[in-house]
A = this chain, B = another copy of it.
Amino acid sequence: MQALRERILQEGKNLGGGILKVDGFINHQVDPALMDLCGAEFARIFSDIGATKILTAEISGIAPALMTGQHMCLPVVYARKNKPITMPDQVYLTLAPSHTKGRMVELIISPEYLAGGERVLIIDDFLASGATIAGLVRLAEAAGARVIGIGTLIEKSFEGGRTLLAPLNLPIRSLVCISGMENGQIQFGE
């Protein structure tokens, strides 16, 4: 998507080690208008898959998922990384490695908000190793729900997430693809 690609070119920073800093418009400061455009684009891409719910992971997935949910008139569930006291004792829980934290984190969903038979569209900020999204897929499957599509703002195609998720045989769409970050550059792919 042109608007997101241009913003990455203007403000994205290659911090080395495959880390793309987009804290100025996605991960710390958020540009609501840009997120709204991205949500509209996901809604267009996934208009005919019959989703009944959007699923994401806190924290950075919330903004694009919320805007997608608004455009698709669907509720958004975000997997929590800590179990709040408002959640029942019995939950769906899985572990996923966090790229930016350097350790395993929990992903937790209450059975109250993800039921058998739901058709789930996963939306997240990054598709990197695919580990977080694979965790969300496991949670959906544990709930008896069916994941029917995956959308991410930015794919780092050199980190293998698409290969990891390929056996799921699902449509995976990223609004911007980054094919390489060698030598301080940000290379865009298809």
Contact = CB atoms under 8 A, between A and B. Distances in A.
B113 A29 contact: yes
Interface in A54-78: 58-59, 62-63, 66-67, 69-70, 73-78
A36 to B, nearest CB: 6
Given A23-B86, A100-B84, A78 B112 contact: no
A31 interface: yes
A25 B101 CA distance: 28
B32 A113 contact: no
A38 interface: no
Interface size class for chain A? 35 or more
A77 B29 contact: yes
B63 A82 contact: no
A30 B86 contact: no
A90 to B, nearest CB: 14
Nearest to A70: B32
A166 interface: no
Given A29-B77, A82-B101, 20 more contacts: A15-B85, A21-B86, A23-B84, A23-B87, A23-B110, A23-B113, A27-B84, A28-B80, A28-B110, A29-B112, A30-B66, A30-B77, A31-B75, A32-B66, A32-B76, A35-B66, A36-B70, A62-B62, A66-B66, A85-B100
